[in-house]
């Protein structure tokens, strides 16, 4: 066989492998998108509605640390109408799938100074990493 005849199948095999790579970053915007499946090395971005002006914050109750690694603290962003006092925004967290396994990413929406008071909302997402 000639060299070009050998290179064409090899090139096609490489292109096929590249086309089948999973998304590097996975977005998660609510429990309706759970359970979530990830591959080791993928990044998960979780975004939830938040309004810290009310005194309520999302607190990581279970970060699924056996399968996920936090890539930094919560990042809060306010809406475009920044002049509106008391308007809500979005809180985001980034995690990287570090090991195969299963776990639950759990956050609670409550006032941090009143942990004995029941949270007004709970986010619970089953995560599976392969």
> Which pLDDT band, with edges at 50, 70 and 90, does 18 fall under?
very low
Backbone angles phi, psi at 65, to 5 degrees: -65, -15
HSE on the CB side for 109, CA within 13 Å?
Answer: 14
Q: Give the rounded percent of residues in the chain with a pLDDT score beyond 90.
A: 62
Residue 70's Cβ-side half-sphere holds a number of Cα atoms within 13 Å equal to 12
pLDDT tens for residues 65-88?
999 999 999 999 987 665 666 778
Model pLDDT for residues 19-50, shown as the tens digit of each residue: 445 568 899 888 888 899 999 999 999 999 99
């Amino acid at each position: 066989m000639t060299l070009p005849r050998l290179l064409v199948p090899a090139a096609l095999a490489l292109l096929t492998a590249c086309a089948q790579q999973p998304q590097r970053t996975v977005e998660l915007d609510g429990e309706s998108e759970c359970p979530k499946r990830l591959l080791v090395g993928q990044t998960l971005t979780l975004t939830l509605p938040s309004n810290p002006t009310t005194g309520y914050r999302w607190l990581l109750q279970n970060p699924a640390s056996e399968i996920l690694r936090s890539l930094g603290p919560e990042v809060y962003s306010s809406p475009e109408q920044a002049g509106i006092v008391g308007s809500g925004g979005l809180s985001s967290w980034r995690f990287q799938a570090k090991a195969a396994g299963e776990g639950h990413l759990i956050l609670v929406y409550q006032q941090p100074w009143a942990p004995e008071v029941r949270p007004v909302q709970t986010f619970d997402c089953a995560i599976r990493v392969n």
